[in-house]
Structure 1
Amino acid sequence: MLDILAITGPIFIVIAIGFAAVRSGLFAKADTRALGAFVINIALPAVLFKALSQRSFGEVMNPTHLAAYAIGSLAAFGVGVMVMRVLRRQPMPKAAIVGMGMAMSNSAFIGFPVALQLFGQAAAVGLALALIVENLILLPLVIALAESSGDNGAKLGRVVAQTFARLLKNPIVLAILAGFGASLLGLRPPLMLAKAIDMLALASAPVALFVIGGALVGQKVGGMMADLGLIAAGKLVLHPLAVLTMFWLLPPVDPVLQMAGVLFASAPMATVYPIIGQKYGQDGMCSAALVVTTVASFVTLSVVVGVLRASAPIAAG
C-alpha cells in the first residue's frame, strides 16, 4: 500500500499545494491560467514531440490501441448521453456535456504525471494516442451534439468544420503531427534544440498538477448529486472498464501501452470541462463534477495503480 501511495501521493500533494497557493492569495487564479497555458501550448507539446520523434513510426502509431481507447471512450460517452436523454429526459446539450464528463480524461494534467512514474518516457506515447482520440474524435462529437438542437441544428456541418479547423491550430495537435512526421522520416532535432525540448518537457508534469489545484479553488458542490454521481461513476469506473474490455477483445498490443491506456481512462475529466459546459449553461454542474471527481480519483487512481502493478512488473523511471 505504501508503494502505491508513493506514486499517487506526490501527485495529490502538488495539487494540494496549488490549491493552497491560490486559496491563500499567494497566487491569483489568473496566474494559474497563465501557467496552464504554458503547459498546454509549450511544455506538453515538447513532451509529445520528444516521445514521438525518438521512436519508430510503427512503434508509436498503434491502430489497435487507438481503436480500443476510442471505442471504450465512445461507449462511456454513449452511456452518459443515453441515460440523460432516455431515462432522465434531459435536452441534448446537457446530455452531451454529461457524456463528455464521463469519457474525456484529464490525460495531460493528471494521467500523464502518474503514468510517467510507472512507465517512464513510454507514457508519452500513450498520452499522444489518448490525446488523438480526445481531440480528434470526442471533442468534435461533443460540440456537434451540443450544437445540434434547436436553431443550431442547421449549422451542424459548419460547427464540425470549424471545430476541426481550430484543432489543426492547436499546439498539442501540431506537436503530435510533427512528432509523427519526424518519426516517419527518421529526423532528429539538432543537439541544442533537443536539450531545450528536454528542459521544457521536464516542466510539464509538476506545473500541470499545480494548475489543477488552483483550478479547484472557488468551485462549489451542491444540489446536483444525481448528475454528479452519474458523471463520477462513469468517469472513474465505467470509462476505464470499457477501455480495458476493448483491450481484452481486440488483438494484443504492447502491455505497457495497454496499461497506460487504462490508466489514462481512469483519470478525472479535463480541466476545460467547466469552460465548455459554460457555453451550454452547465458550468455549475461541470465545476462541481470536476471537484468531486478529482478528489475521488485519489482513491480510484490508487486502486488502479495497485491493480496495474500487481498484474505485471512495471519499471518506474
Structure 2
Amino acid sequence: MPLFLLAAGGWALARTGYLAPGWPEGAAALTVKLLLPALLLNGAYHSALPDALPWRPLAAFYLPLVSLFLLLAFSGRDQARSASRALAATYSNNAFVGIPVLVQVFGEDSLRHAFPVIAFHSLAGFSLYYIMARRGRQGAGMLRSLRAAALNPIVASLFLGFALNLSGLALPQPITRLLAMLADAALPCALLVLGASLAGLRWQRIAETATIATAKLAVLPLLVLVLGFYVFGLAPDAVAVLVVLSACPVGVNAALVVRAEGQDPGAASSSILLSSIACMATLPAWLWLLQRL
C-alpha cells in the first residue's frame, strides 16, 4: 500500500500542477541517472557474488521472455508493429516498480537475485526489438542503440559495483555513506515519477492494449514461475524475485524506443498505463501465490 500511495501521490502532483511544470522529467532523470544507480552500485558492491554466472536463474527468466517475444513478433503482418507489441509485452518496469517492490517486500538482500537479470534486461529486450523491427534493413543504427543500452546508467552502475566487489577495493566510509544516502532516496522518487508519468498517458487500441497487459502481467510471470520451480529447481526466494520482476508493468522505455524508431507508440503507451494500474491487483496476487508454494 505505501508503494501504491506514493505512485498515486506522483500522479496527483502531476495532474494538479502543484509543482513547477516539467518536474516529472527532471525527477525521472535524477532517479534514473543518479539515485537508482547509487542503490544498485551499493548493493552490487556489498553483495556476496556467486563463483560463476548464475545461468539457471537467467535461463528461468530469459527463456520465457525470448519465447513470448518471438511468438508475438511473428504474430502479425506488420513486422514493426508486431515487434513493438512484443517489446511491450516482455519489457518490465524494473526501475520504478520492480526494485521498490523487492526492497519493500523482501528486503534489500533480495536484490542479489535481481542483479544479473537487471544487468541484461534492457540489452536483451532492445536487441530483440531492433532485430525483429529491422529485419532486412541496415543495422548501423541498431548497433548505436545497443551501445546506448549497454551504457545505460543502471546497467553501468551494476557492472561498476561488480568490478569493485571483485577487486576487493575498500571504498572510503564517506563514499559508502553517500551511496547509502542516495539509495535511500531512490525508491520514493522512483514511485513518484512512475505516478507522474502515468498522468500524461491516454487510452488507445483497447483490445491490443489488453492483450499486451495480459501477456505481461499474467503469461510471462506464469512461465517464469513454472520454469523456475519445476524445471530449474531454484530456491523459493530466487523464484519469488524472478516472478516479481517478470510481473512488473510495461517499462516506460518501451514507448520511448518505439517512438525513436519512427513507429507509433500508441499501443505501448496505452499498455504502460493499463498494466501499471492493473498491477495494483496482479502483483499482490502473485505475492500471495508465491507465499503458498
**TM-score, shorter chain, exceeding 0.5:** yes
The 5 A counterparts of 1:101-180 are 101-148=88-135, 153=137, 155-156=138-139, 158-180=140-162
1:272 and 2:264 aligned = no
Instruction: Specify the code of the residue in structure 2 equivalent to 1:128.
Output: F
Q: Are the equivalent residues in 1 in contact too, given 2:202–2:270 (CA < 8 A)?
A: yes
Higher deviation after alignment, 122-131 or 66-75: 122-131
Q: Partners in 2 of 1:241 and 1:220 — Cα distance?
A: 28
Higher deviation after alignment, 101-110 or 301-310: 301-310
Instruction: Specify the code of the residue in structure 1 equivalent to 2:190.
Output: A
The equivalent of 1:211 in structure 2 is: 193
The 5 A counterparts of 1:40-51 are 40-51=32-43
The SS at the match of 1:187 is coil
The SS at the match of 1:78 is helix
Higher deviation after alignment, 50-59 or 96-105: 50-59
Higher deviation after alignment, 200-209 or 271-280: 271-280
Q: Kindly state the Cα deviation for residue 60 of structure 1 after the two structures are TM-superposed.
A: 8.8
Q: Are the equivalent residues in 2 in contact too, given 1:53–1:183 (CA < 8 A)?
A: yes
Higher deviation after alignment, 234-243 or 138-147: 138-147
Match of 1:12 among 4, 8, 13: 4
Query: Which whole-Å deviations, capped at 9, do the CAs of 1:204-243 have from their partners, x for residues lacking one?
Result: 1110110011111131114x12211210110001110121
Query: Aligned pair in 2 of structure 1 residues 60, 264: CA closer, same or farther (>3 Å)?
Result: farther
The equivalent of 1:21 in structure 2 is: 13
Q: Partners in 2 of 1:281 and 1:273 — Cα distance?
A: 12
Query: Which whole-Å deviations, capped at 9, do the CAs of 1:11-40 have from their partners, x for residues lacking one?
Result: 111111101101000135621111111111
Query: Aligned pair in 2 of structure 1 residues 29, 137: CA closer, same or farther (>3 Å)?
Result: farther
Identity across the alignment (%):
24
Aligned residue pair count: 292
Unaligned runs of 5+ in 2: none
The equivalent of 1:281 in structure 2 is: 263
Unaligned runs of 5+ in 1: 1-8, 312-317
- TM, length-normalised to structure 2: 0.93
Q: Are the equivalent residues in 1 in contact too, given 2:47–2:112 (CA < 8 A)?
A: no
1:241 and 2:219 aligned = no
The equivalent of 1:99 in structure 2 is: 86
Q: Partners in 1 of 2:52 and 2:196 — Cα distance?
A: 33
Query: Which whole-Å deviations, capped at 9, do the CAs of 1:155-207 have from their partners, x for residues lacking one?
Result: 12x23422332233322121111111122222332111000000111111110
Instruction: Specify the code of the residue in structure 2 equivalent to 1:69.
Output: F
Q: Are the equivalent residues in 1 in contact too, given 2:43–2:112 (CA < 8 A)?
A: yes
- TM, length-normalised to structure 1: 0.86
